[in-house]
Structure 1
Amino acid sequence: MSIKRFGYMGFEVADVRAWRAFATARLGAMEASASETEATFRIDSRAWRLSVSKGSADDYLFAGYEVDSEQGLQEVKQSLEAHGVAVRVAGQELLAKRGVLGMIWCTDPFGNRVEVYYGGTELFERPFASPTGVSGFQTGDQGIGHYVLNVPDVDAALAFYTKALGFQLADVIDWTIGEGTTLTLYFLYCNGRHHSFAFARLPGKKKLHHFMLQTNSMDDVGLAYDKFDAERAVVMTLGRHTNDHMISFYGATPSGFAVEYGWGAREVTRDWSVVRYDRISIWGHKFLAPA
């Protein structure tokens, strides 16, 4: 598998200032750069991991996946083109903006921008320091976490992300959210993290359902929960998922999609086999009505 990890993510947001406050005070991320129209945030030794750019969508803008070298980049490019995907090579301006050595990008079958890169910028000389005292986020070889997209055609999504991009299917959950309404969620991995990406045909118009950050300590999750709870911004209570076993909660972002904040997920192994579940959580994860 040429793609090694989920490296960064960008959102188009209506209120950059609100996101700057949210990312630092609620999530515990470290602001890396900021202006009236965009901002970037750190959660580890990389120069940035999350980006917000001003716009009306309040939704997904792009996801960046990391390969180890130029050779890996070319392997992904060849795979995409072999599956009929139009691939563009990033110019110097975009490379400089992302802080990477090389990049290609394309769109999935629904127009969602996907970037693949190598050579991200490290800032070991300027250690990550959370403004809220978060002990750290689990990144490294696993990347920054995961995200879940709402797609109109799950078969097309599965074909693109597994065959063209090379992800592996971890498992599926048939999630009943109401009488007669069952959603099938597909969870994909590209390293030891149980899933870096997931998708389903979901209700609502937003592309992005949520993104997830995984902390190094359960206390980090509990402290964040208290912050969200104080603002009546908890969307789903603390719970533990059936498939990755993560203990987490879901909170509201300034853009209307959610953030999952979690700890303790299990990892995929060499002898991993695909299974299905008919519940999304072992316990907890109860929906709360908006304030």
Structure 2
Amino acid sequence: MSIQRLGYLGFEVTDVSAWRSFVTGKLGAMEGAVTEAQAQFRTDSRDWRLSVTQGPSDDYLFAGYEVEDDKALYRVQERLESHGVEVKVEGADLVAKRGVLGLLSCADPFGNRVEVYYGATERFEQPFVSPLGVSGFQTGDQGLGHYVLSVQDMDAALSFYTDAIGMKLSDIIDWKLNAELSTTLYFLHCNGRHHTLALAKLPGAKKLHHFMLQSEGLDDVGFAYDRFDAEGALVTTLGRHTNDHMFSFYGATPSGFAVEFGWGARDVEVGWSVVRYDRISVWGHKLVGRI
């Protein structure tokens, strides 16, 4: 039994207030519960999908993966432990804080916190309404979106996320960042979304390279692009990726990693075969800023 979808992401940030303005005012997500040290945000009928917590790192804090019920959660625990992963069954306090019915946690080989849960809280009676008029975000069976981690040992990373967690390899891209630097990105899926997680050895000290939100409409991307452009917050131009065919751009977050805002990605289908690519984009995605 493997995880089914990415349910939520948490970041540790130095400026919660800046993130509140960013997520609602640039991305168009809906604010949820807020305290002085933490803020949560909605992208659909779930109680929350993104969380920012006050802290020094300005980086990845945790990822939460969803399974269907308590029996599935126990099977994931057994699978992790059979691969030598130490698993903690979280108590009532954190279960209540996450708004779920059951929760376990572990760490990947690099100390990155991974959570697995079932029974998330729904707010169907309080419909998602974007403060910026975003038509919606693609979640559902595919979960929140995707994120990209920088890892130093790819064999260890793939062993954890495929063998222990249960993801499958979609494809790889041999990416030449510049004349002196190249890397290989590994794209992993756990449902129909082309990738929920990508792994690469990347320059810089941050664990998280970017996270992605997929909108329901093409114009949502255009309007978001204009918002980022107006404030000089673009990292890349618009472009289309070779592997998932996503039409997107990248923007800067208040914490120094990037966000990808996209639309139109293709799904992983029955009979999918792993392939490799020499380019990350068909066109566009030209660097115009820095993260």
Shared fold (TM-score, shorter chain, > 0.5) = yes
How far apart are residue 178 of structure 1 and its match? 1.4
How far apart are residue 284 of structure 1 and its match? 0.1
Structure 1: runs of 5 or more not aligned = none
Alpha-carbon separation, structure 1, partners of 2:235 and 2:42 = 24
Cα deviation 1:67-119 (Å, max 9, x = unaligned): 00111111110111001000000100000000000011000000000000000
Letter in 2 for 1:190: C
Equivalent in the alignment of 1:191: 191
How far apart are residue 289 of structure 1 and its match? 3.4
TM-score (norm 2): 0.99
Equivalent in the alignment of 1:146: 146
Letter in 1 for 2:215: T
How far apart are residue 180 of structure 1 and its match? 3.9
Q: Given the alignment of the two structures, is residue 59 of structure 1 paired with residue 59 of structure 2, yes or no?
A: yes
TM-score (norm 1): 0.99
Q: Which secondary structure state, in structure 1, belongs to the residue aligned with residue 237 of structure 2?
A: strand
Equivalent in the alignment of 1:41: 41
Residue correspondence of structure 1 range 60-79 to structure 2 within 5 A:
60-79=60-79
Residue correspondence of structure 1 range 235-250 to structure 2 within 5 A:
235-250=235-250
CA contact (8 A) 1:142 1:191 kept: yes
Q: Which secondary structure state, in structure 2, belongs to the residue aligned with residue 219 of structure 1?
A: helix
Letter in 2 for 1:124: F
Structure 2: runs of 5 or more not aligned = none
CA contact (8 A) 2:9 2:62 kept: yes
Equivalent in the alignment of 2:129: 129
Cα deviation 1:29-53 (Å, max 9, x = unaligned): 1000112100000000000000000
Q: Judging changes above 3 Å, is the alpha-carbon distance between structure 1 residues 99 and 285 closer, same or farther for their aligned structure 2 residues?
A: same
Runs of 4+ in 1 over 4 A off after TM superposition: none
Equivalent in the alignment of 1:10: 10
CA contact (8 A) 2:236 2:289 kept: no
Equivalent in the alignment of 1:165: 165
Equivalent in the alignment of 1:218: 218
Alpha-carbon separation, structure 1, partners of 2:33 and 2:263 = 27
Equivalent in the alignment of 2:24: 24
Alpha-carbon separation, structure 2, partners of 1:98 and 1:226 = 34
How far apart are residue 18 of structure 1 and its match? 0.2
Equivalent in the alignment of 1:251: 251
Alpha-carbon separation, structure 1, partners of 2:113 and 2:222 = 34
Alpha-carbon separation, structure 1, partners of 2:186 and 2:76 = 22
Equivalent in the alignment of 1:230: 230
Alpha-carbon separation, structure 2, partners of 1:232 and 1:252 = 9
Q: Judging changes above 3 Å, is the alpha-carbon distance between structure 1 residues 104 and 290 closer, same or farther for their aligned structure 2 residues?
A: closer
Alpha-carbon separation, structure 1, partners of 2:289 and 2:232 = 9
- How many equivalent pairs are there? 291
Alpha-carbon separation, structure 1, partners of 2:212 and 2:144 = 8
Cα deviation 1:48-67 (Å, max 9, x = unaligned): 00000000000000000000
